[in-house]
Structure 1
């Protein structure tokens, strides 16, 4: 287990498809078409992969007043039950997550598993496109396996809420990083939330900058250059629209050894709902 890396290649995964301790999770999703990912999974997926849905599995139902953001973190026990069904045992099972959107949704599962105390999780570098280009095994069959055992150990200090963001956003020792695209950060466009703009005091580092055009993570030295402006901060608080794509930046920072990172899961969707109330 020590040789297990948090980024694995398609070749590595193909070589390990028959590993009885490996669970592969398909996280394909489209915000504008929530059923699309599962429909694609039913057509074809990595052989042996299970499917977890961003809305149904990796998030909790929306608050009736819309506070908390568009993708609230899932209830620990509810997600744990689903992880057990697909054979994941906390602290033991090797998990590889993938999607077809540069890791935007797979990284949410990566972060959640670690947030719930399971560190043996990796992203498939290049995702589904790399797998298909390589001609590796695909299937439309739904897999089955023995249930796992997952008792979540929540790392509660990994997240912050809106009141903490309000209190810390102007502190010189804290870097508040908006992970959305630059045009959304600048308020030039807002395709999803009712108000455009960003949290006052936040800087922008688009999550897609840590990957190349094909969805492979850039060399660590190149990624490090993106984070150099914040290397002296005592705390890095990251957010995006609703706590999903910020996880790609958190993955990058984790690869580089940053331990002072936190996620504001509600993100801009939570912040602007509070401001407009």
Structure 2
């Protein structure tokens, strides 16, 4: 199954599909109520797809929720292991849509797709939006989850990987943040020494849709070279936008790169080496 689905695919509006609208930020629910796809469940990036960290130095600003909590959330949404799930957000899959896709894949739920182009592509196609709160019927039992999320790495592995010629650490934040010119969200500007920069939006067309699979493969191959997919680590500021790139990689046929969930928000708070354009690290 392709990780992406087009708005023209009638399966999106099949009553058997679990359609989930992911929003982030303080006014996330208000934006959902201003317009969402019919029968789309509201999901909060900050409350449903992340834990609330006591200290972002250990796990970052958006640590993964405990698996028991995520399983209970899936039950509340009516999700079972047999569910076909379609997710989207209002930021071209960069602020929650791909994160939920990645989380589901990480627990072994493969029947999930992300709407290519997100809410905007639906609006561009003239889909009539709903302003009603959709209330799903909860599943009869809690979603069965494994003991841990798959395909993650911790800060210790990132330290080693960033120094290894046989591995690649990719930072998908905007170049000015990577170079240390500015940092609007975390305490210190810069990047992990040894990490390379590939801004996530390079994977998007001017219309906000993913490039073709062929174009994405060229983009990512130019970045990772001969490194095996399983030796590629992707991160961002807090482990959300990185999932946008991981989804793009899978769409391009590059399966196996892993997520550093803590990302820059964790690394930059741990008194570790920091590279910037100015210091040349």
**TM-score normalised to structure 2 length:** 0.90
Pick the aligned partner of 1:69 from 40, 54, 60: 60
Root-mean-square deviation over aligned CA pairs: 1.8
Other-structure match for 2:237: 241
Q: Structure 1 residues 131-140 or 110-119, which shifts more?
A: 131-140
Q: Is the 8 A contact 2:162 2:193 kept in 1?
A: yes
Structure 1 residue ranges (4+ consecutive) displaced by more than 6 angstroms after TM superposition: none
Task: List aligned pairs for 1:50-69, cutoff 5 A.
Answer: 50-64=41-55, 66-69=57-60
Report deviation, 1:137.
Answer: 3.0
Is 1:100 equivalent to 2:96 in the alignment? no
Pick the aligned partner of 1:163 from 156, 159, 163: 156
Pick the aligned partner of 1:260 from 256, 259, 262: 256
Other-structure match for 1:188: 181
In the aligned structure 2, how far is the partner of 1:42 from the partner of 1:227? 37
SS of match in other structure, 2:44: coil
**TM-score normalised to structure 1 length:** 0.91
Instruction: After superposition, give the CA deviation of every residue in 1:171-199 in whole Å (9 maximum; x if it has no partner).
Output: 11100110111111111111111100000
Other-structure match for 2:137: 146
Is 1:121 equivalent to 2:112 in the alignment? yes
Is 1:178 equivalent to 2:171 in the alignment? yes
Other-structure match for 1:197: 190
Report deviation, 1:64.
Answer: 3.5
Give unmatched runs, 5+ long, in structure 1: none
Judging changes above 3 Å, is the alpha-carbon distance between structure 1 residues 80 and 156 closer, same or farther for their aligned structure 2 residues?
closer
Q: Aligned residue pairs: how many?
A: 267
Instruction: After superposition, give the CA deviation of every residue in 1:230-270 in whole Å (9 maximum; x if it has no partner).
Output: 14113101110000000011001111222331110000010
Q: Is the 8 A contact 1:161 1:266 kept in 2?
A: yes
In the aligned structure 2, how far is the partner of 1:254 from the partner of 1:155? 21
